[in-house]
Every structure is written in C-alpha cells, then in structure tokens.
Amino acid sequence: MATTHPTLREPTTRAGGDPVLDELLDRELAYDPLARGGFNSHLSMSLVAARRLGATDDQLREWFEAQTTDGFLVPRDRPSWLDPDTAEVERLGIDAVVRRELPTLIDAPLSQFFHAIIRLELAIDAQHAGQVANALQHLREQGRPLGDPPGGDGGESLAAVASALAQHPQRHSGSLRDLRGAAEAPWFRDTLARLRDDGHLLDDVAAFVAAVHLDRNDFTSLHMVTGTRAARALAQYLDPEDQRRLALRTAQAVALVAAVVLDGADPSRRDTPDVDASHLAWADIGRAALVTLDPHVVKLVYAARLEEAATADPRYRFLAARQAGLAY
C-alpha cells in the first residue's frame, strides 16, 4: 500500500539558503517529533547531517523518502503555535530567540535520550526558522530534569567520578526508564557530588564520552557522543553562569547513563586501543556514511567531524570511520 504524505501548507522558511534542504525540512514539519512507539523521528536531524556530509539533492530526497514511507513517522495536523512561533524566529532572528529561550531549557539535556537538544542543534545549523521553533517547543514539552544537578565544587574529574560510580557496591544496571530513580538515589547523588568543574567541564565530558564509545561501540554510547556535541554547540548561546549549569547537567546525564544503562562503563580501567584513521579523508567517510541511509550513522559522523575540528582529538575520525564501516 502506498504511503500518503500529510497535506502541507506553504513553506515555512527559506532562511537557510539551501532550497532543497529547506523544502524537505518544511515538509518534515508535517510529522510529529515523536515517532511510533514513543521513539524519536530522526528525519530533520539526519537531513541536516547528510547535507553537511555532502549529500546531493537526489540523495537528500532519497533520505526523505526512506524515512517517510516505512510507517514509522506519525503525521500530525499543523500545530497552532508553529506559524506564529516561526514568524517570531524570522522576525527576531534565530540567534536572538535561542539566546532568549535556551536558559530555561538546559536542565534536561538527556530528554528523549539527548534527541531534544540534538534536534535544536541541527535546526540552528540548518538556519531553518520553522525547525528552530519546532525544536524549542519540543524541548519545552519533553524537558524533565533528573534530580538536582551536582554543585561542581568537588575535587575529582568526571572520569574519576564515573570510575567510582562503576565500582559502587550499591550501583545497579537498568534501562532508560530507571534513570530518574537512579539520579535521586544516594549512591549516585553522593558520588556525583565529588565532581569538579574547573571551567572546562564540557571538554571533559566530550573526552569521556569519546572514550566510552571507543570502548563500547553501541547504540547507547553513540548517543552520548552526539548528545554531548549538541550541548557543546548550544553552550555558545548562554552566558557563563548558564554554560556552567548546562555543563553540570550534561556531566550528570552521561555519568548516569554510563553507570546504569551501560552497566558501569569505565574506560579508565581498560587499555586505550591504538586507533588511527588519519589516512581516511572526511569526504570518504562522509560518502560511506551516506550510502547507509542510517540516521544514526550520519549524525555520529557529522558530530565526530565537528568535534575533531574543535578538539584535534584523533579518536573522533576513527569513531566516524568505524561507524561508516571503514575501520574496525
């Protein structure tokens, strides 16, 4: 049976200067950010990442069709707030609106397993007013902080705190559904209180999640990398006090996931593998990622490329190459 696409209104915006990407992002707004089964729609995020990795117009359309014809996405009526919110973003500018709204939305970076902040990061990247309005509203609706944030005035690095959590006798493994309870448990809260924020905590988080994904190479650790990248990208829209709050909340999130969902991930207790993908060009890694038609692959590869540019950490190129099937 052929899939019927939702009826669309006039395009929301052309602010990004990329007619095909903008058109597809306009059409994406006819779908709910949450897909069937309560999972996340990756359509808008993967379209932006794919384009940044070099996808042609035809490839972008192929990505759109692949994700809108399998019955996974949920068509929706156009929300009443979308047009006025989009108009405000267009009138005031994306940066101004994000700077105004983001401080009230940063206490829950783990919402929808990081997808809410990734959606906003890539909407801003695309400079698409409708997607920015949609992502901000989604973050408002889904943002649910997990317990109180750590103070950041302890004496230990994130890696040391994660190692202590991994070895804690009261630690228990679980799923994403168990994170709220774990966040408020004394064994987690008291250990996290030992965390030190020296002003570079988001850098420490990025290094930690890269090490975790290098070790684990699974679906959960992948989201820790892409989620941390989103937090680091959004930090530029915040004043120093709110940047610190976002860093502490992101550290809390990744420490919680590592301890509970990844059953005590502690890369410090393993030998660091010798990884080198410097012989692979980012263009080649991007092309390999694009043919997978896998949203998680292109999002990881794009995030890794940005993080390598920001940190010069060679692990990111290896992580990207491995995700695209070019390294093992």
Give the model confidence (pLDDT) of 126-183 as tens digits. Answer: 999 999 999 999 999 999 999 999 999 999 999 999 999 999 999 999 999 999 999 9
DSSP 6: P
Average per-residue pLDDT for the chain: 94
Check pLDDT > 60 for residue 14: no
164 close to 156: Cβ distance less than 8 angstroms:
yes
Rounded CA-CA distance 153/151 in Å is 5
Check pLDDT > 60 for residue 124: yes
pLDDT in tens, 270-296: 777 778 999 999 999 999 999 999 999
* pLDDT given at position 52: 98
- What phi and psi values does residue 195 have, to the nearest 5 degrees? -70, 140
* pLDDT given at position 110: 97
| pTM of the predicted protein model | 0.94
Rounded CA-CA distance 107/260 in Å is 20
Check pLDDT > 70 for residue 13: no
pLDDT category of residue 223 using cuts at 50, 70 and 90: very high
Mean pLDDT calculated for residue range 309-323: 97
